[in-house]
Amino acid sequence: MNKISIIGTGYVGLVTGACLSDFGLNVLCMDNNVEKIKKLEQGIIPIYEPGLDVIVERNVANHRLAFTTDMKKAVEESDVIFIAVGTPPAEDGSADLKYVEAVARDIGRYMNGYKVVVDKSTVPVGTGQLVKLWVREELAKRGASYDFDVVSNPEFLREGSAVYDFTHPDRVVIGAES
């Protein structure tokens, strides 16, 4: 099966990556926090979520789940890239998209063929168009032209029951132009 990368190993990213790997998919979870990735590689889960440790352990052992700090590898080796980074409140209370923008720009810097970019972060309506713009700007800087699609797939996970919520959703929302 094609590889999926999850950028961000916070609550949403780690649960999403672990559960997708438990469905039998090959997943690479990327984070720029070196200590967090080292702990995950040792089986130490940085969040409290019942059952997540067992899922991570099983899928790492079965070579379906891996961790890295290498963004280039995460982009180049994946067909589907989930953006699951934080969107802290800005001074005016709106979502601060600086981390989403940074990831989108990195995707554009390292893209090497068609990709599906999935926005899983909690973002306002219209962010998909911004992600598309940021990726295109970085591709243009390289003189590269690759097709890609941006998909919105908001999360509805509750802390403490996120694994169950992911594997037994009461709704799935997906937005795409193609």
Number of domains in the chain: 1
Least confident of 80-84, 87-91, 116-120: 87-91
* Lookup: tokens for 155: 């999360």
- pLDDT, average across residues 81-87: 92
Residue 112 has pLDDT above 50, yes or no: yes
For residue 124, the model assigns a pLDDT of 72
Residue 173 has pLDDT above 70, yes or no: yes
pTM, full prediction: 0.93
Return the CATH number at 40: 3.40.50.720
Give buried/exposed letters for 104-121 (b at 16+ CB in 10 A, else e).
bbbbbbbbeeebbbbbbb
Domain annotation covers residue 175: no
Rounded Cα distance, 151 and 148, in Å: 10
Cα three-residue angle 28-29-32, rounded to 5 degrees: 130
For residue 123, the model assigns a pLDDT of 77
Domain annotation covers residue 178: no
Domain annotation covers residue 23: yes
Averaged pLDDT of the chain: 91
- pLDDT single digits (tens) 156-166: 888 888 888 88
Strands lying side by side in the sheet with 80-83? 65-68, 26-30, 3-7, 80-83, 115-119, 148-152
For residue 131, the model assigns a pLDDT of 95
Residue 118 has pLDDT above 90, yes or no: yes
Rounded Cα distance, 120 and 40, in Å: 21
- Looking at the chain, list the stretches that DSSP marks H as alpha helix, in order from N- to C-terminal side: 11-22, 34-41, 52-61, 71-76, 98-110, 127-142, 162-167
Range of the domain at 27: 3-167
- pLDDT single digits (tens) 14-51: 999 999 999 999 999 999 999 999 999 988 898 889 99
Residue percentage of the chain with pLDDT more than 70: 99
Domain annotation covers residue 120: yes
SS3 of 17, please?
helix
Domain annotation covers residue 82: yes
